[in-house]
Structure 1
Amino acid sequence: MKNLKNTREVIAHTAHFVSGKTLDFGAGSAKYRNLIVPHTSEYITFDMIKGTNIDVVGDALNPPFPNNHFDTVISTQVLEHVEKPWIMVSEIGRILKPGGVCIITAPFMAPYHADPHDFFRFTIEGLASLFVNNEFEIIEHDSYGKIFSVLSEMIHFMFFSPYRRSTKRRDLWGGRIMRRVESLAYLLDKSLKNKIIYPNGYVVARKKRT
């Protein structure tokens, strides 16, 4: 298994599962658009908050899409912000076509970050358990990042949190510093075999054909 260091690498690693009409669920700034779009016939962004990159606004627990509508649903770092994530997963199953695939990432060891709320953290098993039912089959699931990535993320949130008031100077220097810190963390993580401490996990699951 690859030593994936961040969510961008997870999306790049799993992009071959993406096809057809694709929903970016909780898209935010749609920062992974360039990795997703080449594999799709149509790319739609959905979020709970209006934004310049958002096509559809609605409730994560009641998304305004018909049954069996999408070939792929991608959701990165959203489940922790949802009060009832098992319902969100059920809704993803509802809007996926039979045989459709979802790619989901979620944090395990991450600082508090309300956007606008922050309810949960997920072990790999905990995240996968949301998809162990009669509707989905799990294709792939794993953690990404290790202990130094956890420490890097703590430093990021302590000093340069995107949830604090932003200034141009702080963003500039914060970005430069964190790029170096994250690169060092990745190099140090590569030397480790122990994966019990990790910041994030992901699941790729397919909706069963009836």
Structure 2
Amino acid sequence: MINTFKKKSLNRILQEIYAKKQIASGFVVEFGAESGSTKNFTNFIQFKDVLKTTYCDKFPKHNETKEEDLEEKLTLLDNSQDNIIIFNVLEHVFDTKNAFLEINRCLKSNTGTIIGSTPFMHRVHGAPYDYSRYTKQYLEKILEKSNFKNIKVENLGFGAFTSAYVIIFDYLKLIPSLNNIILTFCLILDKSISLIVKTETKNIYPITVCFTAEKK
């Protein structure tokens, strides 16, 4: 609840919780990130013996940020990275097949790991373009076809009411106290519904989809 008073979206809150459970080490690259930004997910992922962190973006704002386009061949060397982090980027990439293949090429064989997330229930947000929303099944399939193993894809969410809440968050965040009352109400309704339905409601109405996988 505290984070919603800070005007953070539920999508972002769930992603940060997921990121805090992940571990990165060695040579790390984060896409869609700016050097020194508080929004980087490397701020939440657990670092262990990290040797170097590189921040990449298609339209970098700072000299310290490396310019990379996931729809083209990356300048990163083959088998050079231990972890590649990619949160809230794939929806802005039209050629996701190339993106996953290039990420796989740059990761170290057998141990290199991709850690990422993409929103499912979220307004259109061009940066500069917003192309797609991806399901758990799609991410599992494209990671498999892109030469990854130990693929773990997870839907995060609560149910239909919190998914509906996400849609109107841009307006509710203007009145934080009301926002939190409505969010609490939605969470209670979704929890109640989850007790009487067989399918996990987060798998029917995911807010965000998170994943990890290792290069074969």
In the alignment, the residues of structure 2 paired with residue 181 and residue 31 of structure 1 have an alpha-carbon distance, to the nearest angstrom, of 29
* Matching residue of 1:38: 47
Against the structure 1 CA distance between its residues 134 and 32, is the aligned structure 2 distance closer, same or farther, given a 3 Å change threshold? closer
* Matching residue of 1:55: 65
Matched, 1:156 2:169: yes
The letter of the residue matching 1:31 is N
Against the structure 1 CA distance between its residues 44 and 138, is the aligned structure 2 distance closer, same or farther, given a 3 Å change threshold? same
RMSD: 2.7
1:46, distance to aligned residue in structure 2 (A): 0.6
1:38, distance to aligned residue in structure 2 (A): 2.8
In the alignment, the residues of structure 1 paired with residue 104 and residue 182 of structure 2 have an alpha-carbon distance, to the nearest angstrom, of 35
SS in 2 for 1:8: helix
1:94, distance to aligned residue in structure 2 (A): 0.8
Identity of aligned residues (%): 25
Q: 1:37–1:43: 8 Å Cα contact kept in structure 2?
A: no
Q: 2:78–2:105: 8 Å Cα contact kept in structure 1?
A: yes
Q: 1:45–1:53: 8 Å Cα contact kept in structure 2?
A: no
SS in 1 for 2:69: coil
In the alignment, the residues of structure 2 paired with residue 65 and residue 182 of structure 1 have an alpha-carbon distance, to the nearest angstrom, of 45
TM-score, normalising length from structure 1? Answer: 0.78
SS in 2 for 1:93: helix
* Matching residue of 1:136: 148
Pick the aligned partner of 2:133 from 121, 127, 131.
Answer: 121
* Matching residue of 1:108: 120
* Matching residue of 2:77: 66
* Matching residue of 2:6: none
* Matching residue of 1:7: 15
In the alignment, the residues of structure 1 paired with residue 30 and residue 40 of structure 2 have an alpha-carbon distance, to the nearest angstrom, of 10
Please, which runs of 5 or more residues in structure 2 have no aligned partner? Answer: 1-10, 195-199
Against the structure 1 CA distance between its residues 116 and 177, is the aligned structure 2 distance closer, same or farther, given a 3 Å change threshold? farther
Q: Summarize deviations over 1:76-109 as a string: whole Å, max 9, x none.
A: 0111100111110111001111120001211223
1:199, distance to aligned residue in structure 2 (A): 1.7
Matched, 1:87 2:98: yes
Q: Summarize deviations over 1:12-39 as a string: whole Å, max 9, x none.
A: 12x13x2211111112544323223633
1:53, distance to aligned residue in structure 2 (A): 8.9
In the alignment, the residues of structure 1 paired with residue 64 and residue 91 of structure 2 have an alpha-carbon distance, to the nearest angstrom, of 20
* Matching residue of 2:215: 207
How many equivalent residue pairs? Answer: 190
The letter of the residue matching 1:70 is Q
TM-score, normalising length from structure 2? Answer: 0.76
1:54, distance to aligned residue in structure 2 (A): 5.4
The letter of the residue matching 2:56 is F
Q: Summarize deviations over 1:36-55 as a string: whole Å, max 9, x none.
A: 36333322111111224952
